Chain A
């Protein structure tokens, strides 16, 4: 939807491409706790737990990590609400290391929603599929017990996946754990894969060449698509294209 009034930041103009393959890779989470807490307290507090692509590795500025984009987008589209997105991404962390952080760093903060981006480091280190499944299930259970919504972020799409022959098996573990625990998945893999085939993104924008796993364009789109899905579920907020004043 085009802007009706006022100039729009350049970045927002390009946000349309983030939604290019949205129909094939839908993100429609159910977020009962967040919905209730937002109604009761006017607050939406999100924790982004993950490794380098949560931390924002490769972005030119911390403001361009996906959690920062998500926060800005939610604030823009939910004026008057108290929005906070905390970035707990640490490069290279395994699912188990993050699981250990749930008790000390995540649950005490009482977020409404946790977005858990994980499993890629476990896949490339081949920690064992059963072990990963157990970690994810236990982590999901822990958050559910604490009354916190959870979204699991899918693993990234890789240019040459053949390097890690079990990569798809680990993705399947993640998907299965999500279904079993009733947790929605944010379809990062599918999104990246469809971008790679489209002309809307350059190769460098998706998979950085110089040590950048997902660079700014990708981060921005994750933030935008997450905001879309979360707002749709919460049933409020300005439409994606409407400008704020």
Chain B
């Protein structure tokens, strides 16, 4: 089975533990990677593969949106489902704006206190200081995005498209994928993107490209909802493992590990970076391989998911919006602490471990708080979706 335990049970509102646990893990990886130059980030997954935490995050967003809002659309109709999606978008928007203000405040304080103007550069927040009025207006319109504040706007746009994507995927998963594929490739070649002011740049996560991963997630989620089973394709297993091994070899070696001169240029271009803005296809291939193997070999009832670590991570994953926002704030504060202490090793480890502990604590607290309030209202177990 792709997700859950068959049609009957999949239709009941049970969560797939894999989504929560993986998402919890991804949130921690994102936190660590948002403090560049710290030693822990040099062992994070992006060092071994073409895709990274963001790709997984967006794919999972699609899967869980299908589970939460897709199911609602199936049960209560498109209007009710879309209204619920709209309410969620509003929450995301408010969270994004609050995060924006918090980050500007933290950086402004840091720059005044430390007189290191590079903190401004490090998250591209200059426009806020040089032309505050325009920056605020643009931030409200999501067309000014400092670094790290570019993921929530993407998610807002993707969620707004969700009803359309879901209804298409329900009618024909293939049509949804083909259309999404065409938009991704078409936009990449035509240079289509939403604007990011000031300047001529576009969104760091080009929604025309990244909708592809989201749609892929929605389709996977849709298969999960109807309890489709995953075919056992040994050949595909081998191919997926091959892709992961190839990526790891390319990323871990400094030159061309295969010794085929013809590949030199291509290997070189993979090593210097794989375009994230327009979602270069090696990222997609790598993520597809990862996804296939995860679906094939990590069963929803795998023991590792329900162990202690799994439980803590799942608690994180279930409150991903709160944890994500807290992670951004902690990571930016962490960046500043690391630079002020000249990246002393023990401080790096302390800041990283401290941040992870706080985030895990937050996840656990929010889970506890939710059961508490649910019990107080003596309401049935709440199944609100998390982003």
What is A's interface to B at a CB cutoff of 8 Å?
Answer: 51-52, 55, 57-58, 88-93, 96-97, 99-100, 104-105, 120-121, 124-127, 130-131, 134-135, 138, 158-160, 162-166, 207-213
Q: In the complex, what residues of A have CB within 8 A of residue B111's CB?
A: 209-211
User: Would you give the shortest CB distance from A138 to chain B, in whole angstroms?
Assistant: 7
Complex contact A57–B130 (CB within 8 A): yes
Q: In the complex, what residues of A have CB within 8 A of residue B120's CB?
A: 211, 213
User: Would you give the shortest CB distance from A152 to chain B, in whole angstroms?
Assistant: 16
Complex contact A130–B254 (CB within 8 A): yes
Complex contact B126–A124 (CB within 8 A): no
Instruction: Give the distance in Å from the alpha carbon of A221 to the alpha carbon of B309 in the complex.
Output: 57
Size bin of chain B's contact surface: 35 or more
* Neighbour of B124 across the interface among A92, A134, A207, A209, CB < 8 A: A92
Q: In the complex, what residues of B have CB within 8 A of residue A131's CB?
A: 271-273
Known: A104-B191, A210-B111. A125 touches B201 (CB 8 A): no
Interface residue ranges of B126-167 to A (CB < 8 Å): 126-127, 129-130, 147
Q: In the complex, what residues of A have CB within 8 A of residue B124's CB?
A: 91-92
Complex contact B121–A120 (CB within 8 A): yes
Interface residue ranges of B263-282 to A (CB < 8 Å): 268-269, 271-273, 275, 277
Complex contact A163–B272 (CB within 8 A): no
User: Would you give the shortest CB distance from A196 to chain B, in whole angstroms?
Assistant: 13
Q: In the complex, what residues of A have CB within 8 A of residue B37's CB?
A: 124-126, 164, 166
Report, nearest first, the 6 A-B pairs whose CB atoms are least far apart.
Answer: A92-B124, A126-B37, A125-B36, A96-B273, A211-B129, A163-B339
User: Would you give the shortest CB distance from A127 to chain B, in whole angstroms?
Assistant: 8
Instruction: Give the distance in Å from the alpha carbon of A16 to the alpha carbon of B220 in the complex.
Output: 66
Complex contact A210–B127 (CB within 8 A): no
User: Would you give the shortest CB distance from A163 to chain B, in whole angstroms?
Assistant: 4
Q: List 13 extra interface pairs beyond A130-B254, A164-B37, CB under 8 A.
A: A88-B200, A90-B200, A92-B147, A97-B277, A100-B277, A120-B121, A124-B118, A127-B36, A166-B37, A209-B115, A210-B129, A211-B117, A212-B117
Q: List 23 A-B contacts (CB under 8 A).
A: A91-B121, A91-B124, A91-B199, A92-B122, A92-B123, A93-B201, A96-B272, A96-B273, A104-B191, A125-B36, A125-B37, A125-B122, A126-B36, A127-B36, A131-B271, A134-B271, A138-B269, A138-B272, A166-B37, A209-B115, A210-B111, A211-B120, A211-B130
Instruction: Give the distance in Å from the alpha carbon of A60 to the alpha carbon of B339 in the complex.
Output: 28
User: Is residue B112 contacting chain A, with contact meaning CB distance below 8 A?
Assistant: yes
Instruction: Give the distance in Å from the alpha carbon of A209 to the alpha carbon of B343 in the complex.
Output: 22
Complex contact A55–B117 (CB within 8 A): no
User: Is residue B74 contacting chain A, with contact meaning CB distance below 8 A?
Assistant: no
Complex contact B121–A164 (CB within 8 A): no
Complex contact A160–B116 (CB within 8 A): yes
Cβ proximity bits B192-214 to A, threshold 8 Å, 1 near / 0 not: 00000001110000000000000
Q: In the complex, what residues of A have CB within 8 A of residue B116's CB?
A: 158-160, 163
User: Is residue B340 contacting chain A, with contact meaning CB distance below 8 A?
Assistant: yes
User: Would you give the shortest CB distance from B26 to chain A, in whole angstroms?
Assistant: 20
Q: In the complex, what residues of A have CB within 8 A of residue B201's CB?
A: 90, 93
* Neighbour of A134 across the interface among B112, B118, B268, B339, CB < 8 A: B268
Complex contact A90–B199 (CB within 8 A): yes
Instruction: Give the distance in Å from the alpha carbon of A126 to the alpha carbon of B36 in the complex.
Output: 7
Instruction: Give the distance in Å from the alpha carbon of A122 to the alpha carbon of B264 in the complex.
Output: 24
Complex contact B275–A124 (CB within 8 A): no
The listed residue with most B CB atoms (<10 A of its CB), out of A55, A91, A158, A162, is A91
User: Would you give the shortest CB distance from A68 to chain B, in whole angstroms?
Assistant: 15
User: Would you give the shortest CB distance from B282 to chain A, in whole angstroms?
Assistant: 14
